[in-house]
Amino acid sequence: MSARRVVVTGAGRGIGEALATAFAARGDRVVVNDLDAAAAEAVAARIGAVAAPGDAASGEGIAALLATARRELGGVDLYCANAGVAPKGGADAAPEAWSQAWEVNVMAHVRAAEQLLPEWLERGEGRFLATVSAAGLLTMLGSAPYAVTKHGALAFAEWLSATYRHRGVRVHALCPQGVRTDMLASTGEIGQALLAPTAIEPAEVAEAVLRAIAAEEFLILPHTEVADYYTARATTPDRWLAGMNRLQQGLEEGAAR
């Protein structure tokens, strides 16, 4: 088992922390990134990794993060674009919410790939993990910005794999449903009603990631039932949308009681 050089964004807590912990336990050398400097440093200290707090969405922030990884690790073998935001609202969500979701959930992936690809293509290998969420395969009632941008994150991961797979770049799209994290806790009544009953621990997500990387699987589905939902969405879209709308109506009726 060879050690990898791994960067995990949004690793101060939740899925990112679990990923960083699992990679470090495997023997990988890890850089822990998070906007919350104290959280990043605490996780790095606990698992014996390098803390690199900062903004992993802007081009400048990603450049600084990769500079740290190259200085401390000598390069990057696996980049986990895990940081994400889930603003509430529909078409009426504030422009700032749409902009933040686009920057963090999509453009952070694009900018990281832009800076990593020259290095990876030159040496003929590299690995990119995008934390997409099942919302990217399906949708997320209650948060149009999240649903739309997670679809974008999935589309970019697919494009990246289709374009560079033959040149040694491997891509994975991590698509869990509910995970017991601060983000789930912040989703409000709709998110809790939809996701909490089948929510799993972040460590279970990390275990699924390790298995999928070993098996070279693009889609990582810690909730296996998501594959059936995705199939129904693709093959019977009207029926699937009608079912989702009934679910929305049920949530509205429950909130009105």
For the four alpha carbons of 176, 36, 86 and 160, in that order, the dihedral sign comes to negative
Quick one: tokens of 79?
A: 């980049």
137-163 b/e (C-beta count within 10 Å ≥ 16 → b): bbbbbbbbbbbbbbbbbbebbbebbee
Q: Is the confidence at residue 186, as pLDDT, over 60? A: no
Nearest-angstrom CA–CA distance, 252 and 257: 9
Single-letter amino acid, residue 67 = A
Stretch among 36-50, 148-162, 181-195 having the lowest mean pLDDT:
181-195
pLDDT tens for 127-139 read 999 999 999 999 9
Length, in residues, of the chain: 257
Does residue 253 register a pLDDT over 90?
no
Q: What is the CA radius of gyration of the chain?
A: 18
Instruction: Tell me what the pLDDT averaged over the chain comes to.
Output: 93
- For every residue of 118-163, which 3-state class applies, written as one string? HHHHHHCCEEEEEECCHHHCCCCCCEHHHHHHHHHHHHHHHHHHHH
The reported pLDDT for the residue numbered 1 is 67
pLDDT, position 71: 98
- 47-51, 79-83, 200-204 — which is least confidently predicted? 200-204
User: Does residue 184 surpass a pLDDT of 70?
Assistant: no
Q: What is the model's pLDDT at position 142?
A: 87
In whole angstroms, give the CA distance from residue 187 to residue 209. Answer: 24
Check residue 135 and give its pLDDT.
Answer: 93
Q: Which two tokens stand for residue 151?
A: 């679809």
DSSP annotation of 179 reads B
146 belongs to the catalytic site: yes
Angle between helices 108-123 and 144-164 (to 10 degrees): 10
Catalytic, out of 146, 164, 229, 230: 146
Lowest mean pLDDT among 55-69, 153-167, 190-204: 190-204
pLDDT higher than 60, residue 187: no
